[in-house]
Structure 1
Amino acid sequence: MTLVNATIGFVQESKAENAIAALAKSVTTEATAIRNGQKIRLDARELVPGDLVVLASGDKVPADLRLVSVRDLQVSEAGLTGESLPVQKAAASLAVATVLADRINMAYAGSLVTFGQAQGLVVATADRTKTGRISQLIERSSSLETPLTRKIEEFSRAQLYIILGLAVLTFVVAIGKGGSWVEGIRDKY
């Protein structure tokens, strides 16, 4: 019975992982870029540093961009900075030491344009973006231990001890009734 449950669990997890992988492949971010004076639509993975990208309301920012032209642009950076409200952006020069959350002249990959329009130069793509660096740090982390995961681990350990205790008790009772240990196991399974 345990082997059947393990097999079913393995098959279900495998199917779920394949479905997630297929979904990830189907979800691509497209960008509008200006190359050789022409506006073109392309996959965000084809962007390179130095490309000029056009942003409009509803767009997902395809790469880290240094904004060069802005018209009433607001960007939701909640996934990166934790800000609950969209941030007003401007094409201003800032000090080099300006903290990430205050860089109003940058639009970061994965952010969502909630209002306005802008043009920006690609300064980083893929793993070199701020979001990509965070993703790399999370991958390097050996384990993510939170209070919830600690409680679940404690509960699981306690449950294991209870089950093992009940199994030993059942085994001892079977032997105590005069049967052999083989009969005690066979009668229960």
Structure 2
Amino acid sequence: MFLEFRMLSRRDVVLAFAVLPFVFWRPLRAAAADTMLRVIGMVGDDVEDGRVEYDAAALDALPQTRFATTTPWHDTPVEFAGVSARDLFQAVGAHGENLQLIALNDYVVEAKVSDIIAGDGLFATRQNGVPMPVSDKGPIFLVFPFDQRPETQHQAYYSRAVWQLAEIVVTP
């Protein structure tokens, strides 16, 4: 029995290169899908290049906070639950003063760590006890207790209420 070799046609080569990314991308995509929130920059022991990633279970393992409030995007009060900004920044060892809050659609908001903490920011993962889907501001929504904190009923805080939050960059 002899093996027969033939030259690959241009079509065969193009097809092979078109299919290869899908073969190798699937495991990478699955691993990335497990990460719900990435906090990078001035976190942990690193001066500038720290990185902490959380999946749903890791976020749930942090101290949980809940409050009910109305928002400009909801007609009635909604109960939000998740990790307070104070607890998250302490857990990651954030030591910068500024943030970039980046949503899944690459929407970016810049804010001061102190403002997010002072406003009692909550990285909500649940709305009315149910995990928040991407289609309804999830999986993470930075929200403030607007009803309990009248000073947060301002465009400065409304614009910092980032939904579909995926990444936080901590900078000097």
TM class by smaller structure: 0.3 to 0.5
TM-score of the pair, normalised by structure 1: 0.33
Q: Which structure dedicates a bigger proportion of its chain to strand?
A: 2
Q: Which structure dedicates a bigger proportion of its chain to helix?
A: 1
Greater RCO structure (CA 8 Å; 6+ sep): 2
Larger radius of gyration between Structure 1 and Structure 2: 1
